[in-house]
Structure 1
Amino acid sequence: MMRESDGGEMASPASGASGRDETPEQRADRLWAELLQELRVAQTGVQILFGFLLTVAFQSRFGELSSADRTLYVVTVALGAGTTGALVGPVSLHRMLTGRHMKPETVTWASRLTVMGLVLLVCTMAAALLLVLRVAGSNTAALWIVVGMVVWFGVAWFVLPAIARHRVLARRDRN
């Protein structure tokens, strides 16, 4: 029996019981279905954000942006493209590996791409927010707001799950 380890990766039975009676293939199928649900949520938001970013260059006020803001815009669009690639990547990975008896490995790599996509999404949102707030107001206030947003996303998306995982594993070790 295999169990899920960090980030949806598949671990060997020696690393602990999964608490479910399923074969490695069944587990991989279940984890893949769960990952797809997560990706559907993330991909929709990323596609909307990326679409809006692409339209900014065609707005009449775009020509009024400073050189620094234009550079920030280009970086933001590049980050958005990278985010889209990382979050759509699991679909391509699955399609290319389907039928090759590699579902556990596919789940592992797709999970890694998804985490990379989330990291890139934080960067994309931070850059987009910084650009909008720089255009709308004070550079100093914009920077502090963006730092606060990045800290919040870091806590909500990465720190809280790590704490939850640590507590559950510590409780299991005591039992």
Structure 2
Amino acid sequence: LAGLIIACLFAAAMSTVAGGVNSVATLLSEDFYRRWWPGASARGRLWVMKGSSVIVGLVSTGVAWFLSQQTIPMLFRTWSEMAALFGVGVTGMFVLGMFTRRANSWGVGIGFLSSVLFMFWIKGTGWLHWTVWGSLAIFTCVGVGYFASFFFPGKSIGRGLTIFSS
């Protein structure tokens, strides 16, 4: 029975990793490759997806191996700090794009960059507990991005892109 439970845990972990790798590969192919090369064939996009899957898998494995070799007392804390520094601003970009009509690409980019820089400053000062960094990164990205969007003219690119125009 113990072996069956361990096998189930490994299967769940493999499924989660495969879903993440496939999501990133699809994102790179559809959101970037297709936008930069609109005339690309389906075969070309498939090769980009496959190549992206391999590269993302290798990078993920390399990062996992690197972290396993470190003498880090609290791996969860280190991972949470890295996610707050670099990744959580992406959630702020999503919130800004989905829940505001004002946001434009310049404002979102400035909001994301300010979020990353602010998180590095917070980490350097050490005056705020690391568990609130993620929330602060989201609020920084949304607040600065929304405010910065007032200074750059935005063009309307269609309806149905926010919750207010669906």
Structure 1 and Structure 2 fold alike (TM over 0.5): no
Structure with higher helix content: 1
TM-score by length of 2: 0.29
